Structure 1
Amino acid sequence: MLDELTALFWSSPALQKAARVAVILVTGIPLVLLISRIVAGILHPRLGQQGGDLLARIVRYAGYLTVLIAVLQEFGFNLAAVLGAAGIAGVAIGFASQTSLSNLISGLFIVGERPFEKGDIIEVGTFTGTVEEIGLMALTLRTFDNRSVRIPNETLVKTNVVTVTRYPIRRVDLTIGVSYNEAIDRVMKVLREVAEEHHAVLDEPEAVIVFNGFGESSLNFMIGAWTVKTDVMKVKNELPLRIKEAFDREGIEMPFPHRVLAGGKAMEPIPVILTPARAPNTEPDS
């Protein structure tokens, strides 16, 4: 029986061709997958996980194309004619898909430069969110209100991109105004104490306290508190509350806007200062 099958195999070109195709598929596809994994393992330390995966995907697609060409050759396709027709079609398609080619090349630049990684928070134009995937043609961004935004790679190359989580620590800046009746040194001292008492604010670098100048109805200060990137939202939410509590405790007034009204040239100016009542939680007049 085995001899008959062997004789049938060697006497049938179709069976021999099918066997060669099966060998190409059985050995070629696993080999392509193995090579792509090796490439990803080599490139991950240098280009990051997303960059290594992207180039490994390109290698995988190229390997699949090579396997397909080998199978077509076994079936007797004239690859010279096919490639010639593909070349002509490629020129026509190239003119029609210049944007896609630009996105592909831009994606390779992004992978090489590594301005951000998967999981980073970035700002692109009016969008802010977490990088979910860096693809061959576009980046997928997940915004904080749970929307998925697809941004072409060409746009990322041409636009200013802010990587919010690039560095391990960040500074949270707040602007505060107090009444003109308050002492500048005393206000700066209270702000310093609030920053030092907050457990999420770093001691080094120390918080920046700056007197920004004179506003229309307030003395303006800026406090910049350093914290680790995972605690940014906590500091941004809690620090203003701590400052308000400290000001109330120390009797420091955070004023309402003031306006001065005066008459025209035909009459003697009579300045009238409109000052709203103090906040309910301030000390009553004696």
Structure 2
Amino acid sequence: MMLADLTSEFWGNPIYQKIIKVLIVLATGLPLVLLVSRIVSRVLRHRLGQQGSDLLARIVRYSGYVMVLVAVLQEFGFNLAAVLGAAGIAGVAIGFASQTSLSNLISGLFIVGERPFEKGDIIEVGAVSGTVEEIGLMALTLRTFDNRSVRIPNEMLVKNTVTTVTRYPIRRVDLTIGVAYTEAIDHVMRVLAGVADAHPAVLDEPETVIVFNGFGESSLNFMIGAWTIKADVMKVKNELPLRIKEAFDREGIEIPFPHRVLAPGKAMEPIPVVVRESRN
């Protein structure tokens, strides 16, 4: 009878009942929030990419935590209407003070929807270039080629031009070369084509672009554009000029230095200046 009385007293106590309800809310609500966020991440991964799906899953997770917190506060008898009213007034004041943060948040959602780049891509934003490490709610984190971490607000990514260097599987490496005026243009173009064809990392299709750019101050200028896969861009950029120099040396093609021709001329005679004295 004593045990029955204690059990009856325990279940009949409103405080214990609230504690049990709160524990049930936490035990069911938190795992449910995590489950829903994981489902959102997996379902949207193919459409929004890894970073986009993770970002939306994070938003769902934080929203779920807020809902669980509200349910717990309601069980303890908090007047949520008064709390939400005060929060609304404070939210308006904070909103005016944090317009930049709100703009960054909205810009981040646009970036996730459009997917101009993903984690691991190399992008250029103004004078900054590097590898995308994280697409956050407020900012993007870049890792530069000299191993620095750069944080760029999402608002700047929407307002400025962003170049995704690794968007496509192949890229073209462009080099500008000048040769002496005594060289034959068709001979130089054949040598450049042979160097590109002999390089193992240069693709046969698309075909290498070789263009005569015109007459410079001291040289005939050419442009060679060699296509390669994006993983071999640095290799082609480093090795192709060396191979071109070796080929020019074998073929006797001169790479000139700037020339200046000085023509003798007649010196100008000084202009006489007449000074008159005034008499008073």
Q: TM-score, normalised by structure 2?
A: 0.93
- Give the 3 Å change call, closer, same or farther, for CA 196–2 of structure 1 in structure 2: farther
Distance 2:180 2:45 in 1: 56
The separation in 2 between residues aligned to 1:2 and 1:197, in whole angstroms, is 92
1:264 CA drift (Å): 3.7
What's 2:18 paired with? 17
State the shift of 1:265 in Å: 4.3
2:29 is aligned to 28
- Residue 249 in 1 paired to residue 241 in 2? no
Q: Which is further off, 7-16 or 213-222?
A: 7-16
Give the Cα–Cα distance (whole angstroms) in 2 for the partners of residues 233 and 132 of structure 1.
Answer: 20
What is the letter of the counterpart of residue 115 of structure 1?
A: P
Residue 270 of structure 1 corresponds to: none
CA distance in 2 between partners of 1:228 and 1:238 (Å):
15
For residues 129-153 of structure 1, what are the alpha-carbon distances to aligned partners after superposition, in whole Å with 9 as ceiling and x for unaligned?
0000000000000001000000000
Matching of residue 71 in structure 1 with residue 86 in structure 2: no
Report the secondary structure of 2:143's partner residue. Answer: strand
1:178 and 2:179 correspond: yes
1:222 aligns with 2:223: yes
Q: CA RMSD in A?
A: 1.1
Give 2:176's aligned amino acid: T
**Partner Cα distance (1:2, 1:230) in 2:** 74
2:230 partner letter:
K
* Cα deviations by residue, 1:146-165 (Å, 9 ceiling, x for unpaired): 00000000000001000000
Aligned to 1:282: none
The structural deviation recorded for 1:4 is 4.2
Q: How does 1:1-286 map to 2 (within 5 A)?
A: 3-266=4-267
Deviation at 1:13, TM superposition (A): 1.0
Q: State the Cα distance separating 1:2 from its structure 2 match.
A: 5.2
SS in 1 for 2:176: strand
Larger Rg over CA atoms: 2
Aligned letter for 1:173?
A: D
Counterpart residue number, 1:271: none
Distance 2:168 2:116 in 1: 12
The normalised TM-score by structure 1 is 0.92
The 2-side partners of 1:191 and 1:114 are apart by 38
Matching residue of 1:279: none
Alignment partners' CA distance in 1, 2:264 and 2:40: 80
Unpaired runs of at least 5, structure 2: 269-280
- Secondary structure of residue in 2 paired with 1:259: coil
How many residue pairs get matched?
Answer: 267
Structure 1 unaligned segments of length 5 or more: list them.
Answer: 268-286
Q: Which SS does the other structure have where 2:261 is aligned?
A: strand
SS at 2:217's partner residue?
coil
- Structure 1 Cα separation of the partners of residues 15 and 78 of structure 2: 15
Taking only the aligned residue pairs, the percentage that are identical comes to: 82
Q: Which residue of 1 aligns with 2:274?
A: none
Distance 1:2 1:223, change over 3 A: farther
